[in-house]
Amino acid sequence: MLLYQWHELNRHWMAPWVHLAEANAKIFSDPSSWLSTLPGAERVSAYNELLHRLGKDYEKPEWGIHQVETNGVITPVVEQEVLRKPFCRLLRFKRYTDDAKNIAALKDDPSVLVVAPLSGHHATLLRDTVKTLLRDHKVYVTDWVDARMVPLADGGFGLDDYIAYVEEFIRHIGADKLHVISVCQPTVPVLAAVSLMAGRGEATPRSLVMMGGPIDARKSPTSVNSLATRNPLAWFENHVIHTVPANYPGEGRKVYPGFLQHAGFIAMNPSRHFMSHWDFYSDLVKGDLQDAEGHRRFYDEYNAVLDMPAEYYLDTIRTVFQEFLLPRGRWKVRGEKVDPAAIRKTALMSIEGELDDISGLGQTAAAHELCTGIPKAKHQHLTVEGAGHYGIFSGRRWRDVVYPQVRDFIAKYAG
């Protein structure tokens, strides 16, 4: 199938028009240009900017976390690459200060590993999650690499490899003082990784916080779950897996392209996105630059997508959404059985959004039913009223409702 090649051809064909639209938008809005004085100039500018944003390429956004307030002090933050793997970079956002009292406090803060989703968007989607956690924690995050940028010589990457990465990151940071937060898709491989480590007698993290993930996708199935169960695995392999074209380092690699995943995101709520773009156009015409900038920031992130390795994508469809191997107790990773009951020393917190249309109610809380080796006193669950999927880890509800409880839960088991 040549869909990826056709997509690239269309992208290159559109490029001159997209750049022309960008130029027109600036010319008709720049106060120093005589064209901005013409009647209707603001509408011409708004139309061209909208056209430019609908057609442009969206690169991976920067994390852009340069400072955070800790203990009432503005503290600089530096992004560091701690470990590099072919398909992922382990990052640490390190806080620096020359205030003696603040230094002592920062040293005592718990270490947190945020395992970001590998499900279409870049890990920067969790920017708000990471920045908020930095107030009271040492924060590490998995920054997944776009599969089209990984040469074939680096081998494949399946769900088992994802689990191995998580195990390696936990060991590298040090499980004895670590707390792990998994958001959405990684709740499953993170629970598997910690279960396998516990089964071998290895040290496990002090706590696990699982947010909006498909631990048991049979509960309250959503449209995402229905798509996976409605079609056989061969359908996904034949219809959504494509080959990276020659203009990328990953030429020849089989992937689930980001542009297809993005189309799926839009298709879930097309009217909402249409109205958002219409409001953006109207804001530009009215000169409401604050709301227009908010639209730009959101879609700069939302429209930036990555390709997923085909092996990983198909493994996830089969294991998580079709055969439900984890909740059925039938999952083996490289010959080792995944047994969440083996986890005994790790506290467990699950978080769900009341209105989550991606991971339905009960799917994440199912982790408690599986982790029977954890004492009941170390189990905690939170359902966030009025929150959708993104609201439990980003935005006002995350900062004001969810984070305080996550912070207190981690502090309780920090030791």
| DSSP β-bridge partners for residue 92 | 80, 140
Q: Is the same domain home to 157 and 221? A: yes
Per-chain mean pLDDT for the chain: 94
CATH code at 79?
A: 3.40.50.1820
Q: Is the same domain home to 210 and 321? A: yes
Please report the pLDDT score of residue 32 as a whole number. 92
Does the residue 261 lie in any domain? no
pTM of model > 0.85 = yes
Does the residue 376 lie in any domain? yes
Pairing status of strand 207-211 against strand 254-256: unpaired
Q: Is the same domain home to 92 and 223? A: yes
Please report the pLDDT score of residue 2 as a whole number. 82
Distance of CA 356 to the CA centre of its chain: 15
Percent of the chain with pLDDT over 70: 100
Q: Is the same domain home to 211 and 340? A: yes
Q: Is the same domain home to 47 and 188? A: no
| pLDDT tens-digit map of 357-381 | 889 999 999 999 999 999 999 999 9
Which of 188, 138, 199 has the alpha carbon at shortest distance from 166? 188
More confident residue, 266 or 365: 365
Structure tokens at 375: 């004492």
- Among the candidates 247, 282, 302, a domain finishes at 302
Does the residue 24 lie in any domain? yes
Question: Do residues 165 and 182 lie in contact, with contact meaning Cβ atoms separated by under 8 Å?
Answer: no
Q: Which residue range forms the structural domain that includes residue 48? A: 3-57+272-302
Question: Do residues 403 and 343 lie in contact, with contact meaning Cβ atoms separated by under 8 Å?
Answer: no
The three-class DSSP label of residue 382 is: strand
- Distance (Å, rounded) from C-alpha 327 to C-alpha 320? 9
Domain count, the chain: 2
Residue 396 has pLDDT above 90, yes or no: yes
Please report the pLDDT score of residue 1 as a whole number. 61
| pLDDT tens-digit map of 211-259 | 999 999 999 888 888 888 888 999 999 999 999 999 899 999 999 999 9
Residue 132 has pLDDT above 70, yes or no: yes
Q: Is the same domain home to 153 and 208? A: yes
| pLDDT tens-digit map of 25-84 | 999 999 999 988 999 999 999 999 999 999 998 999 999 999 999 888 889 999 999 999
